[in-house]
Amino acid sequence: MMMVGRNALYFKDYVLSIQYFNQVINAKPYLYEPYFFRGLAKFYLDDYLGSEQDCSQAVERNPFVSDCYELRALNRMRLGLFDEAIADYREALKLEPEAKGLWHNLALCYGHTDRLDEAVGVLDTLRRIAPSYTPALVMRAQVRVQQKDTVAAMRDISESLSIDKYDPDVYSMRAILYLEQGRYAEAEEDLTYSIRLHPSSNCYVNRALARANQSNLRGAMSDYDLAIELNPNSFLGHYNRGLLRAQVGDDNRAIEDFDFVIEQEPENYIAHFNRGLLRAQVGDYEGAELDFTDVLNQFPKFLYGYQCRAEVREKLGRLRLAEEDRLVLLRAQLGDFGGNGNVAERDDEEEDSVMVRRKSDNNVKKYKRLVVADDELALEGSGFASEYRGKVQNRNVHVEILPMFALTYYEQVSEVSKPVRFHNDIDNLNKGGEVPMPLILTTTEKALDSTQIDFHFADINTQTTAIVQSVPDDELPASLAENQKSAVHWFIRGLDFYLVQDFNSAIADFSSAIATDGSLWVAYLNRAVARGKQAIIDAEEADNFVDDDVGLFTHDMRKNESQPAIRTAPGLSAWQQCLADLEKVIDLAPDLSYAYYNRANVYMRLNDYQAAIADYSEAVRLNPSLAEAYYNRGLALVYTGQNGQGIADLSKAGELGLYGAYNLIKRFAE
């Protein structure tokens, strides 16, 4: 049960994994591991309080496992309990004194509690332990900035780049310092290079700011578009794009941006005022009056607001109300508010030469200014401000092949690309009446919800009953039709086990289906996929999971999956068994492009890139619209030094809907 639960956890089926760990806890409540694993699943589901409680249970049962302290510390950081997190990291460091991730996060906790000198001390220790660990230099530079020592911060950044000149975060950070110093051209150059290495919404937002300060409004607008495409919930992206759209007269789309901002922050009165101005511009005087009224209720001394509302009320024919607003302005000009001259005009233009304001600055007089985040580094969603290092979260971007095609009932639907995977044999199987739901071929399998999990556990019993009933009572051989029907029931139960992440039981049932009907190629196909997934798990187990540099917890088994094959039968590896299954699929269904694609994936696991390229090419010949084959062949070509051809394949994959390929093109084009 623990093994199957860990399978589900590895393949991100968190709700299912929790159910398995619950059963282990009920059976053996004295074990620490099911509490730890259940806590990890809850952490990924953002249930930080529940995860912290499970970690405490794990620590109570075994206080000598550093991972339990580390996970509990991460939950406490998420909950804002930084002092408690510091205590946990200190306990974990007693058990693993050279773990870079623990030192990193300890320094981060000190930074969050404004104990900057202690943070520097921890980072100095980390530098002695791991001189080439550049994130320590990056964080120390951030602390130096908070201490107003930008010279020392620049020194740390330069040293970091001398160690690793391909770290996009370091260029982003230096660019922010340039922005703070008004060196906009240099900031734009660094942000452009960072985007080339790894595009992020934050980089586009900050490059837009650099471009706007250089009067490049078209470039800034383009950057805000890209920032919002990468992060649709970007506050800075929508707010600042709304301001730029207003400047160029694109009023209706500017209103849409401010609608988004106000939906996210209903009490953002500066956004209300900007939207009111735009609504008045497009003739929506009722809406403009409402926005201006909201602002003036909050800021009753904002005189320019009265002038704007008076003009709108005149348009609406509400002359008495308009006169009341103008009376407020008149009193201010006569000195009731301590002003002299045209106070409304002076409010409108106050400090207008300054282009930006902090997000927390609620001075409505600064309504024309672009917004930057409150952090000293003006970052939105910054990795420096909130990134947690170590075994719990792998922030490195891994270049990995897309998974094998599997026959299942569920897939993650893309709004961009919705290909139809058809084969006549699968269609006939769906029409046969034995399959409880339509089978589909997909590489983007979907984690099950609780209702689906319950259904498949129940269906295992249903299919078991059907299998037992299909066994003949006498010694007469079963007919071909009976064998085929029995094989389908074995296959369906195998798929049920596969969906609840019990790969060994699934493989056994697929084998029974094959033994009953050797022509059922769908059983060979899914057995190969199940064997491949089990091989990945076994490889992680054999390699002691992951180390501190490359993955999640040592328990969580997530790392680069290109591992030596694990022996599962005398003289035959798991991946070689996958090859045998897929070769049988190709014999039975030679027109199935997905079989060639899957076999190519197995060759990639075995580092036989030439054989993989040949199979991907055959898959593309059979199905010229198979984007996944172009994507993986592109990676195989890049791995073998054929960057030009590889980039061409990635471009084709992007054209067919796999837009993640464009990110790789930027990285490989250098």
Mean pLDDT of 62-87: 93
Distance CA 126, CA 128 (A): 5
Q: Which of 300, 302, 299, 275 is nearest to 286 (CA)?
A: 275
Q: Which of 653, 176, 156, 601 is nearest to 378 (CA)?
A: 176
Residue 227 has pLDDT above 60, yes or no: yes
The band of 611, judged by pLDDT with boundaries at 50, 70 and 90, is very high
Fold match, 1-81 / 609-670: yes
pTM exceeds 0.85, yes or no: no
The residues near 631 (Cβ < 8 Å, ≥ 6 apart) are: 401, 402, 649, 650, 653, 658, 661
Specify burial of residue 232 (Cβ count, 10 A radius: 0-12, 13-18, 19+): exposed
Identify the helix (H) or strand (E) that includes residue 569.
strand 567-569
pLDDT of residue 563: 35
Distance CA 141, CA 159 (A): 10
CATH number of 609-670: 1.25.40.10
Map residue 371 onto helix, strand or coil.
strand
> What residues does each domain of the chain span?
1-81, 82-386, 609-670
pLDDT of residue 478: 56
* Fold adopted by 1-81: 1.25.40
Cβ–Cβ contacts within 10 Å for residue 408, how many?
18
Specify burial of residue 312 (Cβ count, 10 A radius: 0-12, 13-18, 19+): buried
How many degrees, rounded to 5, is the angle at CA 599 between CA 595 and CA 604? 145
**Which structure tokens are listed for 131?**
């001189």
Amino acid (1-letter code) at residue 252 = N
Mean pLDDT of 184-196: 92
Question: What is the β-pairing status of strands 572-573 and 567-569?
Answer: antiparallel
Of the candidate CATH numbers 2.30.110.10, 1.10.287.1120, 1.10.3720.10, 1.25.40.10, the domain formed by 82-386 belongs to 1.25.40.10
pLDDT digits (tens, 9 = 90+) for 32-51: 999 999 999 889 888 888 89
Give the chain's mean pLDDT: 83
Tell me, rounded to whole angstroms, the distance of Cα 150 from its chain centroid. Answer: 32
Q: Phi, psi at residue 406, to the nearest 5°?
A: -125, 150
What dihedral do alpha carbons 111, 117, 122, 123 form, nearest 10°? 80
Tell me how far apart the 2 most distant CA atoms of the chain are, in Å: 111
